[in-house]
Amino acid sequence: MQIIRTEVTQATAPTGQPILRVIFCGESGDCVAVDLARVDGGNNEAAINRAKAVLVQIATFDWL
């Protein structure tokens, strides 16, 4: 997916906990969202970097 837009928004988890939601959108219109419970540094760049790391970990996970 060629990422053409990245958004960082504040959201609320189903538990009521405040989270940061990072949304990566591709040229085809598909989007992937990563919800982060806590981001060190507290800025958008830190949130995007952490979300990227989460996606890399998920992509290499050996699904059963």
pLDDT for 2 beyond 80: yes
- Taking only the tens place, the pLDDT of each residue in 11-55 is 999 999 999 999 999 999 999 999 999 766 678 999 999 999 999
SS3 label, residue 11 = strand
Indicate whether 64 belongs to any domain: no
In this prediction the pTM is 0.85
Indicate whether 32 belongs to any domain: yes
What is the number of structural domains in the chain? 1
For position 38, what pLDDT does the model report?
77
E-strand ranges in 1-64 read: 3-12, 18-26, 31-36
Q: Determine the structural domain holding residue 25 and report its residue range.
A: 3-59
Q: Which has more pLDDT, 64 or 49?
A: 49
For position 59, what pLDDT does the model report?
86
For position 3, what pLDDT does the model report?
95
Q: What are the residues facing 35 on neighbouring strands? A: 21
The order of strands in the sheet holding 3-12 is: 3-12, 18-26, 31-36
Indicate whether 17 belongs to any domain: yes
